C-alpha cells in the first residue's frame, strides 16, 4: 500500500481553473500506484523487481479538483498473477478552507514486474511474484476480474496493431501533438517513459479534439481501458493524434493513438491506444449539451451503449 499527499498549485490548472485531469492521472499512476507495486514486489526479495505501467482500466472522474486542494492518493495491490499486479488507486481532495473531503478519481492499473538486475531494464522478470494476502475477498475478486479483462484485450493486440498504424497514418484526425521524450519524462531506472507522463499527453491532445468539436471548455469524465503496447525510450519522437468518435447529448468519446519513433533508426511503433470521454461545461462549470457528430461507426455507438449500461448498473 502507498499513500501520497500533494498540494495543488496554479501551474497544474486547466483553462477553467480546475486541476488538469492528466496531471491527476500522472500523480496516481507514476507516484502512488508505482510505489505500491514496488513495495509489494520487493517485500521478500529486496532489489529484485522493478515495475512498469502496462494497462489503465476504466478510470473514473467523480468530481473536480481545485487549485489549493490537498489531494491524497491511496494505492493498494489487489491481486497478483505470474508477471503482473493489479493496483487500485483512489484520489481524495480536501479543501483546506472548509475541511470538506471528497473522492475525485478512481482507477485500476496493471503493473508489469521487470527484472531490476537485467541490463536493459525492460525484461519481464521470471521470478515468482509475492502472493497478495487478502482479508477483503471482494477486493481480491475485483482485481482478478480486472486481470481477466486485461487478458481478453491482449488477445486482439497483434491483429489490431497493424490496423491502428494504418489509421494513424492514413485517416484524418482532429488534433495532433508532438513531443520529444526528455529525462524528466522517463523512469530513472531504465530510461523509458513513465506511463503517467504519456497519459497526461493523451489527455491534452484529447481535450483539444473535444474543444474543437464543442467550442467550449471540456473536461475528462472517464477513460476506457488504456494499453501500453510498446515502451517509449528517452529521445524518441512521440506523435499523438485524437478525434471524436461518438457524441451523446452529454458526453463525447475521443479516440487517441500514440506513436513512438526512434530519431536514429526511424523505426516507429504504436505505443498506446485508448478512448477518453469528455463532458462540455459552460462558464459556470455546468454540463451543457454537445453538438452531434456528422457521422460515427456502429462500433462507437456500441461502446457508448455499453458504457451507459455500466453507469446505470453502478448506480444500483
CB 17 within 8 A of CB 68: no
Q: Find the catalytic residue in 31, 69, 90, 203.
A: 203
Q: Find the catalytic residue in 14, 18, 190, 217.
A: 14
14 is catalytic: yes
Strands of the chain (E only): list them: 2-7, 49-61, 70-80, 84-94, 101-115, 175-180, 217-223, 226-228, 237-247, 252-261, 268-281
CB 256 within 8 A of CB 206: yes
Residues 247/218/61/185 CA torsion (nearest 10 deg): 110
- What is the rounded distance in angstroms from the CA atom of residue 235 to the CA atom of residue 191? 9
Question: Comparing C-alpha atoms, which of 176, 170, 172 is closest to residue 241?
Answer: 176
Cα distances (angstroms) measured from residue 12 to each of 69, 101, 157, 306:
11, 20, 34, 33
Instruction: Tell me the HSE value of 153 on the side-chain side, using a 13 A CA sphere.
Output: 19
- What is the rounded distance in angstroms from the CA atom of residue 140 to the CA atom of residue 132? 9
108 is catalytic: no
Residues 57/63/68/72 CA torsion (nearest 10 deg): -40
> Scanning the structure block, which residue is given the C-alpha cell 526511424?
266
CA 147 to chain centre: 16
| Close Cβ partners of 22 (under 8 Å, ≥ 6 residues apart) | 199, 200, 201, 202, 203, 204, 220
- What is the rounded distance in angstroms from the CA atom of residue 27 to the CA atom of residue 34? 10
**Residues acting as catalytic residues:** 14, 203
Amino acid at each position: 500500500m502507498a499513500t501520497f499527499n500533494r498540494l495543488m498549485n496554479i501551474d497544474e490548472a486547466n483553462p477553467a481553473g480546475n486541476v488538469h485531469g492528466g496531471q491527476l492521472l500522472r500523480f496516481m499512476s507514476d507516484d502512488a500506484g508505482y510505489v505500491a507495486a514496488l513495495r509489494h514486489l520487493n517485500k521478500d526479495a529486496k532489489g529484485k523487481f522493478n515495475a512498469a505501467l502496462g494497462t489503465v482500466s476504466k478510470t473514473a472522474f467523480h468530481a473536480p479538483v481545485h487549485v489549493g486542494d490537498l489531494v491524497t492518493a491511496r494505492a493498494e495491490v489487489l491481486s497478483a498473477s505470474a508477471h503482473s499486479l493489479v493496483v487500485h488507486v483512489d484520489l481524495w481532495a480536501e479543501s483546506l478552507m472548509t475541511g470538506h473531503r471528497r473522492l475525485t478519481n478512481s482507477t485500476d492499473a496493471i503493473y508489469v514486474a521487470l527484472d531490476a538486475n537485467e541490463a536493459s531494464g525492460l525484461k519481464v522478470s521470471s521470478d515468482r511474484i509475492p502472493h497478495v494476502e487478502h482479508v477483503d475477498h471482494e477486493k481480491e475478486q475485483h482485481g482478478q476480474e480486472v486481470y481477466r479483462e486485461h487478458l481478453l484485450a491482449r488477445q486482439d493486440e497483434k491483429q489490431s496493431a497493424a490496423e491502428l498504424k494504418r489509421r494513424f497514418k492514413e485517416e484524418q484526425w482532429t488534433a495532433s501533438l508532438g513531443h520529444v521524450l526528455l529525462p524528466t519524462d522517463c523512469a530513472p531506472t531504465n530510461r523509458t517513459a513513465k506511463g503517467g507522463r504519456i497519459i497526461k499527453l493523451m489527455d491534452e491532445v484529447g481535450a483539444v479534439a473535444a474543444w474543437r468539436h464543442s467550442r467550449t471548455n471540456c473536461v475528462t469524465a472517464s477513460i476506457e481501458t488504456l494499453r501500453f503496447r510498446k515502451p517509449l525510450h528517452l529521445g524518441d519522437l512521440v506523435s499523438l493524434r485524437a478525434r471524436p468518435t461518438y457524441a451523446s447529448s452529454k458526453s463525447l468519446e475521443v479516440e487517441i493513438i500514440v506513436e513512438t519513433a526512434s530519431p536514429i533508426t526511424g523505426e516507429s511503433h504504436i505505443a498506446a491506444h485508448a478512448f477518453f470521454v469528455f463532458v462540455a461545461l459552460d462558464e459556470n462549470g455546468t454540463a451543457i449539451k454537445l453538438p452531434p457528430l456528422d457521422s460515427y461507426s456502429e462500433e462507437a455507438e456500441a461502446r457508448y451503449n455499453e458504457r451507459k449500461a455500466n453507469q446505470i448498473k453502478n448506480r444500483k
